[in-house]
Amino acid sequence: MTMPKMLVVATKNPGKAREFAKMFAQAGMTIKTLLDYPDARQVNETGHSFKENAQLKADHFAHELQLPVAADDSGLMIDALHGMPGIRSARYAGDHNDAANNAKVLVEMGGLPRDQRGATFHSTLVLAWPDRPTVDLIVSGEVRGEILTVPQGDNDFGYDPLFYFPPLGKTFAEMTPEEKNGVSHRGIAMRRLEQQWPAWWAAQEEDQA
Ligand SMILES: O=c1nc[nH]c2c1ncn2[C@H]1C[C@H](O)[C@@H](COP(=O)(O)OP(=O)(O)OP(=O)(O)O)O1
Ligand SMILES: [Mg+2]
């Protein structure tokens, strides 16, 4: 079976792009992202679950680019907010404004004590072959943590400065890329994808031949 040296990850988020570049490099692959295809037609994330949105993005961009594509839909589910912002994480307080989103989380959680600040980061990854939406490969990963009352750390990706991971005693924004990939929702999903994609890929290529 022949795995490609290059894969398109259908994301416009530079934080995700950075993490995927590193993780795929370890698997011997380089990636392109939507930042490399500025003219690609966009898609609205109208799904009702991480899985639906990841599938929507993967299928749309596989068709649009006529290439195999991986997509990630992810977000933060806060216990005390009944799972919000969840699939609305990117647009919780305004479109893709990380600072405003973080500020809104802090306001909504008010002065809740530490034992009521639990949260889950979720990532669903979908690998899609152009125009064959029924054979998507789907994996997911989750990690538990606590929402701090004050942001901590320099990594500027999304909710990372608020997400404290007790086993390492720091927030995702205070971790090295290796540390974060080692424990994160996206890292877990990625390792599940790595186990499954060679067989999946071979089956798609066989189908095409
Ligand atoms: O590891 C993470 N560390 C911090 N924040 C994170 C993480 N993972 C997801 N998040 C946040 C970012 C965004 O507010 C939302 C994802 O929304 P989501 O639609 O999947 O991504 P996006 O719109 O930023 O980029 P795109 O859809 O082009 O991949 O959750
Ligand atoms: Mg999005």
Does the annotation place 185 within a ligand binding site?
Answer: yes
Euclidean distance between CA atoms 198 and 114, whole angstroms: 43
Token couple for 118:
């639990």
Report the pLDDT value the prediction gives residue 6, as an integer from 0 to 100. 84
- For 60-107, the pLDDT digits (tens) are 999 999 999 999 999 999 999 999 999 999 999 987 899 999 999 999
Report the pLDDT value the prediction gives residue 60, as an integer from 0 to 100. 97
Q: In the chain, which residues have pLDDT < 50? A: none
Q: Where are the domains of the chain?
A: 6-208
Scanning the structure block, which residue is given the tokens 């993005």? 57
Beta-sheet pairing, 137-147 with 163-165: antiparallel
166 preceded by a cis bond (ω within 30 of 0) = no
Atom of ligand 1 nearest to the CA of 91: 14
Report the DSSP beta bridge partners of residue 32.
Answer: 8
Q: Which fold has domain 6-208?
A: Maf protein (3.90.950)
Residue nearest to atom 10 of ligand 1 (CA): 75
pTM score of the predicted model:
0.96
Say if residues 79 and 118 touch (Cβ distance below 8 Å): yes
Report the pLDDT value the prediction gives residue 27, as an integer from 0 to 100. 86
Atom of ligand 1 nearest to the CA of 76: 30
Report the pLDDT value the prediction gives residue 93, as an integer from 0 to 100. 96
Say if residues 9 and 32 touch (Cβ distance below 8 Å): yes
Out of 13, 36, 147, give the residue to mutate to test ligand 1, the one with the largest number of ligand atoms within 8 Å of its CB. 13
